[in-house]
Amino acid sequence: MRQVHDDDTPGGRQATPRRRGRVPAALLIPAGLGLLFLVLPLAGLLIRAPWTTLPERLTEPGALTALRLSVQTATLATALCLLLGVPLAWMLARVEFPGRRLVRALVTVPLVLPPVVGGVALLLVFGRRGLVGGWLDATFGITLPFTTTGVVLAESFVAMPFLVIAVEGALRAADHRYEEAAATLGASRWTTFTHVTLPLVAPGLAAGAVLCWARALGEFGATITFAGNYPGRTQTMPLAVYLALETDVESAIVLSLVLLVVSVGILVALRDRWMTTA
């Protein structure tokens, strides 16, 4: 395998020093296998896709409805996560308060929690008989399960940690002195936050939002548990894929392919611009 040295390229500005010599096979082989393991299943989708019938399958109303709902709910969930998650990340990064470590651990729980458990937990709180849901139902006649709002809540619950972690990391890496300078120049805390802090962490914020959106788009377990499955209202793409697999494998492959293309497309398009917090 040929190796590229940074200093081979003319004009490579202050390339990070990299050791010359062969990459040890002990690293190269497992690295290659790891890559293969991650990429092969995706390639499998491409290989098995029914390319000839793809156009008509894609334009089936059911597929389009599910895709539209997925994009809408993932976007709304990301908006909700930004609204609630950015202040939360700011608190975690900038404010000393007792129990901060515990709060940070709690915030990241949904990352490791099986989504279906998240769905059950949401039902117990926001369901018709839940702590908050019971009150909402009795007072306003609002029920959240089986509604599009329920989908947004389920997706937000699962995706918000991605945003909080990314933004908190960016805030910690950002230079405090700009904020201090703004304060000494008479800026209020809110002005400092909106005019100094936020622009400073914009790349991290964007990266977090993209991850959050992509995670929300792929959410399955919490959604089907909390919001149920009804075409046009709560049936997002992942749910449509699951049920299509029950009867029509090719249709499930096509839907999966769409989800894959959208996810990869978003990640690739944004990665170079924002994901590298230099």
Q: Can you give the binding site for other proteins, defined by CB under 8 A?
A: 29-30, 33, 36-37, 123, 127-129, 145-146, 224, 228-231, 234-235, 242-243, 245-247, 249
- Least distance in angstroms from the C-beta of 236 to other proteins: 13
Question: How many Å separate Cα 238 from the centre of its chain?
Answer: 15
Check residue 70 and give left, alpha or beta (phi > 0: left; psi -120 to 50: alpha). alpha
Cβ proximity to other proteins, 162 vs 226, nearer residue: 226
Cβ proximity to other proteins, 167 vs 237, nearer residue: 237
Cα four-point dihedral sign 123, 221, 78, 62: negative
Q: d(Cα 76, Cα 146) in Å, to the nearest integer? A: 17
- Least distance in angstroms from the C-beta of 54 to other proteins: 21
Question: How many Å separate Cα 166 from the centre of its chain?
Answer: 10
- Least distance in angstroms from the C-beta of 10 to other proteins: 38
End-to-end CA distance of the chain: 29
Using a 10 angstrom Cβ sphere, with 0-12 exposed, 13-18 middle and 19 or more buried, the burial of residue 154 is buried
Cβ proximity to other proteins, 183 vs 245, nearer residue: 245
Using a 10 angstrom Cβ sphere, with 0-12 exposed, 13-18 middle and 19 or more buried, the burial of residue 185 is exposed
- Least distance in angstroms from the C-beta of 192 to other proteins: 45
Cβ proximity to other proteins, 170 vs 252, nearer residue: 252
Cβ proximity to other proteins, 212 vs 239, nearer residue: 239
- Least distance in angstroms from the C-beta of 48 to other proteins: 12
